[in-house]
Amino acid sequence: MTLSDWLLGRIRGRGWSQRRFAAAVEISPTEVTDILHKGHVPGLAILQRIANEFDTSLAFLLQLLGYSVRERKGIAAETARLAQLLQNSPLLTQIWEELETATPEQLDGTLTFIRFLKS
């Protein structure tokens, strides 16, 4: 899949015209045509605005353009991962609730105990 294929799918999925998309990401309609139909590669600032508009990452868009990108795990990714774990495991939710009120010494002891159990 190319950037233009992906973009066309998203634009059509929202029922937008190319002009509406251009306004949303603050570029000219001519530039949209160039990106979608002539293989023009937009700069990073425009790619970031596209990523923001469609709630995806700049790294993903760069990969669609053929670049090899390794994303660094950020706090947002870790927060989402933790939220999913807690949502899918009632036991982890109970453990988390206990850890929230633990002192630093208790947390250290808990980590030592977990490592002991895993060995």
- CATH of residue 59: 1.10.260.40
Show the domain range for 43: 3-64
* Count of domains for the chain: 2
Mean pLDDT of the region 49-60: 90
10 and 53 in a common domain: yes
Between 92 and 29, the more confident residue is: 29
Mean pLDDT of the region 55-60: 87
Torsional class of 73: left (φ above 0), alpha (ψ -120 to 50), beta (otherwise): beta
Query: Residue 65 in 3-state DSSP?
Result: coil
Does 69 map to a domain? Answer: no
pLDDT of 34 higher than 90: yes
CA neighbor of 72 nearest in space, from 82, 83, 59, 84: 59
pLDDT of 113 higher than 70: yes
Q: What is the pTM of this model?
A: 0.59
What is the chain's mean pLDDT, rounded? 87
CA neighbor of 46 nearest in space, from 55, 58, 36: 58
50 and 15 in a common domain: yes
**How would residue 73 be classed by pLDDT, with cut points 50, 70 and 90?**
low
82 and 48 in a common domain: no
